[in-house]
A = this chain, B = another copy of it.
Amino acid sequence: MKNNLKIERRIKNLTQEDLAKMIGVSRQTINSIETGRYVPSTILALKISAVFEKSVNEIFSLEVSD
């Protein structure tokens, strides 16, 4: 699964830690999602979606390997 987190974060000028605090997870969790080390739960994706005011589908997308 791919994601635009880094880009969306830059648009809103948020650090990984800022975003983490906004949605109530650890900074490492954001980092791990961004670097593709793991796939977030749908609740997390929805919270991220709310922060960036974009749909989950606009932020996350399936790859062939999924």
Residues of A within 8 A of B (CB): 1, 39-47, 49-50, 55-57, 60-62, 66
Contact = CB atoms under 8 A, between A and B. Distances in A.
Contact of A46 (B1, B44, B47): B1
Contacts of A50: 62
A47 B43 CA distance: 16
Nearest to A40: B42
Nearest to A3: B42
A1 to B, nearest CB: 5
Contacts of A39: 41-43
A19 to B, nearest CB: 16
A49 B40 CA distance: 16
